[in-house]
Amino acid sequence: MNDKELNQYLQGTIPINEKWITELERYAKENRVPIMEPVSMNFLQQIIRIHQPARILEIGTAIGYSALRMLQANPGALITTIERDESRFTYAVNEIKALNKHEQINVIFGDALEVAEEITNQGPFDLLFIDAAKGQYKRFFELYSPSIRKSGIVISDNVLFKGYVANPSEDNPRFSKIAGKINTYNQWLINNESFHTSIVPIGDGIAISIKK
């Protein structure tokens, strides 16, 4: 069984989603908005169900899909999420209000590299989810991980980046360049003595870092 067949099998094990989820997924596909893969999202939700983080910080709101799905896994959580693209920010805010989740999900408009002081002052957080500009993962981690409490979790998505991290290709130099940056981040993360990190080959690759 190859990776594609395995992923298809795993997707087949995921329960049927509610209408609002499938509509968000359809919108993302039609408008080429990057959102978390279904298998990865299901895995992240399971982590949240196990650890029940009360306060979650997300770097990269996009259209609000992952924030809403994380809240679905722990309905009592409070989520702060940051988005720098104005059209996606607006869409996320409207979607969150339409689902009546605006009291639990606070969407911040801005560049995560520029609003860090404002956000970290709201900590500590129990979980940090990084899913934004891939070349900036290390900076995001350095800026925001100090606001994660002891034994808190940092989740980094796309750390295997379409397989290019493990198998760079000259056929797509842009992807290989991004993969090189992610590989540098992965190596730095694994050797970060303040965290226990494991990389899980689910979806596009997920790094789980637990603060010591």
User: How far apart, in Å, are the Cα atoms of 158 and each of 24, 102, 121, 131?
Assistant: 20, 27, 27, 8
DSSP track, 24-73 = HHHHHHHTT-----HHHHHHHHHHHHHH--SEEEEE--TTSHHHHHHHHH
Specify whether the CB–CB gap between 58 and 131 falls below 8 A.
yes
The model's pTM is 0.92
Which residue would you say has higher pLDDT here, 122 or 163?
122
- Annotated binding-site residue numbers: 36, 66, 83, 111-112, 131, 157-158
pLDDT in tens, 54-91: 999 999 999 999 999 999 999 999 999 999 999 999 99
At 157, list the tokens.
Answer: 């998505």
Fold of 3-211: Rossmann fold (3.40.50)
pLDDT in tens, 125-140: 999 999 999 999 999 9
Strands 148-157 and 206-211: antiparallel
pLDDT, mean of residues 110-138: 94
Instruction: Give pLDDT, residue 170.
Output: 66
Instruction: Give pLDDT, residue 16.
Output: 75
- Annotated binding-site residue numbers for S-adenosyl-L-methionine: 36, 66, 83, 111-112, 131
Q: Is pLDDT of 103 > 90?
A: yes
Instruction: Give pLDDT, residue 133.
Output: 92
pLDDT in tens, 166-208: 777 667 778 888 888 999 999 999 999 999 999 999 989 999 9
What's the CA gap between 149 and 68, in Å, rounded?
Answer: 23
133: nearest Cα among 85, 79, 94, 198: 85
pLDDT in tens, 15-65: 778 899 999 999 999 999 999 999 999 999 999 999 999 999 999 999 999
212: nearest Cα among 120, 157, 148: 148
- Annotated binding-site residue numbers for Mg(2+): 131, 157-158
Instruction: Give pLDDT, residue 211.
Output: 97
Which residue would you say has higher pLDDT here, 22 or 12?
22
What's the CA gap between 205 and 43, in Å, rounded?
Answer: 11
